[in-house]
Amino acid sequence: MQVAIVVYPGFTALDVLGPYEVLGRLPDTEVVFVAERPGLVVNDLGSLSVDAVATYADVSEPDIVLVGGGAGQQDQMADDGPLIEWLRAVDRTTTWTTSVCTGAFVLAAAGLLTGRRATTHWAGLDMLTGFGVTPVKDRVVIDGHYATAAGVSAGIDMALILAGRIMGDEAAQTVQLIIEYAPEPPYQAGSVDTAPPSVVERAGRMLSP
């Protein structure tokens, strides 16, 4: 099984590295980081790089495609852009086409989520309607062979769900145990429903362009 994880300048690290930790531990699985051009790709915080060893042209029939979000995501959404064209092509044969956080907007811009249910980061959820997508306020949404995850850390949940569907519950649970994924956050501020209003307001300001 081949998993193609897209990286582009300004990607959010955990969007892609969380699922990488899960999917990359499944038996007989190759994970390849793909980009428009091979080489180091810098994340949105400017302090971490991922080495993309393959271009879109090098990966023509991946079993799973994953697109994360990040500050640079908007630059990838041009209708005739290389990422959009590649996604439309490989989606014809993928078992799963997936996104984490605002990566959903890239799939939507490619027309892949039109008429479907999907989720994304809470700050952009309502904007999915502009792409003909039905926004769902869930951590992970599966519609057909499309799987979308909410903000950042939700990509780990999505990857575990996919692992279970592909290789069975025990295989997924084994990976969960290996990475010791048992969240016990010190605060209950992980969603707009539980965070204090002042925190929601502050986060909104920080996320504004």
Catalytic residues: 101
Task: Specify the amino acid at residue 45.
Answer: L
CA proximity to 160, closest of 98, 108, 93: 98
Angle between helices 13-23 and 154-167 (to 10 degrees): 30
Q: List the structure tokens of 162.
A: 């996919």
- One DSSP character per residue, 165-209 reads HHH-HHHHHHHHHHTT-----SSS-SSTTTS-HHHHHHHHHHH--
- The CB density around residue 38, as the number of other CB atoms within 10 Å, is 14
In the block, residue with structure tokens 């990607």: 11
Check if the beta carbon of residue 139 is closer than 8 Å to that of residue 154.
yes
Classify residue 181 as exposed, middle or buried by CB count within 10 Å of its CB (0-12, 13-18, 19+).
middle
